[in-house]
Amino acid sequence: MTAFRVQDYPLKNYQPRGGGPTKAQSGGLRALLSRSPWTYRLIVLAIIGGIWQAYATAAQLLLVPKFTDTMIGVVTLAINPDTWVAFMISNQALVVGFGISVVFGVLLGLGAARFRSIEGFVDPYLSILMVTPMAALIPILMMALGLDLSSRVVLVIVFAIPVIIVNSRTGVRQVDPNLIEMATSFGATEREIWVKILLPGALPAIMTGIRLGLGRGVTGMVIIELLMVAVGIGNLILRYQGNFSADLLYAVVILVIFEALILVSILRFIERKVAPWASQTVLRD
């Protein structure tokens, strides 16, 4: 048996990547693309729109509207007061449910990080909430709470709160222990360590949790209206589906996506304002 030699195992696909002297920016497409992410985004949108348009035109299916028709639908709905009323109704559940989720989610997460007793109380339920397909809870909620606002609020909470709790708890846990030791050595009390070290240290993760929770809350808000309580946006979707108004149906979905995008951008903006030192925390649930 001959001895093993490292040289017998060369890297197969070794290629220089991104090193060396700065490459001169050629003009044209490359320069255009490097300028702004929006260029990419609009190009992708145009491609998707184009494929969609081509497919819908060729297939001629009743429930696949053309891209152009859908865009016209979006405008039609946006100027129709009924749409706004529907969005208001749906968003009642989101505002109340998401608000409660933020307040209690952050408190429970911080509490779980600090107190074993809260941790022990929260943990099993959190695990259940994380693994349960949430939609399965809807019939149970309906039976328990009826068809009014409260069941929609509870569903939004059930969707939104787990990720907020988990991120808040993890955020506190991952604060650099050196900082806690430093503060202690300068005579900080436990309260001061919370206020001056743990909370600011956990803030980026908490904000990320809130942002992820918002996305889930929107999902919860729409799902319950689709499956059980036909009001607001869910009602619109069901109505246009029943009418075979495919263009409007698609338009509603796009408006919901718009709303979610706007809300998430607002939260991102707040995130950058309150935690500018953490460009991105990559915590997920």
Which residues form the interface with another protein (CB under 8 A)? 3, 176, 178-179, 181-188, 192, 196-197, 200-201, 203, 275, 277-278
The CB-of-10 to another protein minimum distance in angstroms stands at 18
Q: 231 exposed, middle or buried (CB, 10 Å; 0-12, 13-18, 19+)?
A: buried
- For residue 190, the minimal CB distance to another protein (Å) is 13
CA distance 261 to 244: 27
- State the nearest-atom distance from the C-beta of 175 to another protein, in Å: 10
**Smallest distance, Å, CB 100 to another protein?**
28
DSSP 123-173: HHHHHHHHHS-GGGGHHHHHHHHTTSHHHHHHHHHHHHHHHHHHHHHHHHH
- Shortest Cβ 96–another protein spacing (Å): 32
Which one, 123 or 192, has the nearer CB to another protein? 192
Burial (CB count <10 Å: 0-12, 13-18, 19+), residue 7: exposed
Residue placing its CB nearer to another protein in the complex, 22 or 279: 279
Cβ distance to another protein smaller for residue 3 or 59: 3
| Cα torsion 68, 71, 77, 79: sign | negative
* Closest to 121 (Cα-Cα) out of 111, 131, 130, 133: 111
Which residue lies nearer to another protein by CB, 64 or 278? 278
Q: Which is nearer to another protein, 81 or 187 (CB)?
A: 187
